[in-house]
Every structure is written in structure tokens, then in C-alpha cells.
Chain A
Amino acid sequence: GEDVEQSLFLSVREGDSSVINCTYTDSSSTYLYWYKQEPGAGLQLLTYIFSNMDMKQDQRLTVLLNKKDKHLSLRIADTQTGDSAIYFCAERGGNTPLVFGKGTRLSVIA
């Protein structure tokens, strides 16, 4: 079945850029997503990208998609302590539930 892989931990200094990477296996993925989970809360949709796009920018967030390599990344510019959370990559191919990665725990050091 489909699989989404991401590293489990990332630690950055406040003010630096964070880059969270994700790979997926489903070549028919039409949408790819980034969700954020803050401590003690459910997941919130951060941003998403259609599979026919290479890049999407939304304020401090930049999503890059390399469809050939099935690689997705999320860049957070000027990372703040409030960005500390777990970030989940997810994909969808067709009218089926999302497949989530295991989540990357981002720790921001002041």
C-alpha cells in the first residue's frame, strides 16, 4: 500500500530556517499536505499542494514538490519557538482517506 516517510526529529535555533522532508510512494497522489500538531491538540492543516505544482509559498512557509523523486519538503523561515510542534506529511490519491507519515517533531532552541 501507500507509504509516507519522514524523519522523526529536527532541532533548529530560533531565527534559523527549518526544513522538514517527506517521501511518498504513491505515484497517483493528487494532493500532498502538511499538518501541524501542537502539544495537547489535534492536527491542523497548514498547507497543501497539488501534484501539478512545484512550489507553493504562504508567508513563512514554502512547500517544494519533486514529483519525479516523490519528495516533498516544508521550509519554515525565521523559525520561532511557537513553531515547536509535530509536523505530519500526508498524501491522497483519489477519493480515499489521507495517508499520514509518522510525524517530525520540531524543537526550536531559543
Chain B
Amino acid sequence: DVKVTQSSRYLVKRTGEKVFLECVQDMDHENMFWYRQDPGLGLRLIYFSYDVKMKEKGDIPEGYSVSREKKERFSLILESASTNQTSMYLCASTSGNSWEKLFFGSGTQLSVL
């Protein structure tokens, strides 16, 4: 089975801290995605990556950056965390030809105080 692992289930950070959210997949998928999920707003795409060292902005990239140095790992970085970045963050991956078959991690609930 495909496994998408997010390093932390819960994270509490202070305003202004630099925050790293890590995601690793074990199926050699080319495409990886970061979403945030908020009640009443659904899933919103932050960034995605088609390949190593490649990144594309999603719908809400402001305040975030990403890193894809290795194919299996896609990191989301909050340069200076703010309270409005308190959210559930979901990582997903899929192979190059199967855009519909997104595999999701269990999510990281980030609280910024």
C-alpha cells in the first residue's frame, strides 16, 4: 500500500517562529501537494511539485514556501508563523499519469499561538 507520512500529527508553535512540515511518500510518485483544510472552506492548494527541485504555486501560497530536494520528500515551510496559519495541513502525492488517485497523509494540525 502507498504510504504518505506526515512527520507530526499535532504541532504547537508561537507567532513568528519558522515552522517545517515534512511529508514523505514511499511509492516513487512524481507529484506531491500541500493543502490546508479549514472548516467551511474545504481544501485549498498551497503548493505542488511535479518533480525534484520543481515547485508551483497553488491557490494560496502567500506566507508559505516549499522544498523538494529528494523525490520522496516534500517540505512546507512557514517562514514566520502567524495565527491565521492555524489549520490542518494535508500532504498528498500521485504518480505522473494518475492525477485522480491522490494519496493523502493523515494531516498535521498546526496551532499558532
List A residues at the B interface (Cβ < 8 Å). Answer: 1, 8, 31, 33, 35, 40-45, 48, 88, 92, 95, 97-98, 100-103
Contacts of B92 in A (CB 8 A): 42-43
Which residues 18-61 of B sit at the A interface, judged by CB distance below 8 A? 33, 35, 40-43, 45, 48, 58-59
Measured CB to CB, the closest approach of chain B to A42, in angstroms, equals 3
Interface size on B, residues (CB 8 A): 21
A43, B58: Cβ atoms closer than 8 Å: no
Name 30 interchain pairs, CB-CB below 8 A, sorted by A: A1-B59, A8-B40, A31-B99, A31-B100, A33-B100, A40-B106, A41-B106, A41-B107, A42-B4, A42-B90, A42-B92, A42-B104, A42-B107, A43-B102, A48-B100, A88-B42, A88-B43, A92-B100, A95-B99, A97-B33, A97-B45, A97-B48, A97-B99, A98-B99, A98-B100, A102-B40, A102-B41, A102-B42, A103-B42, A103-B43
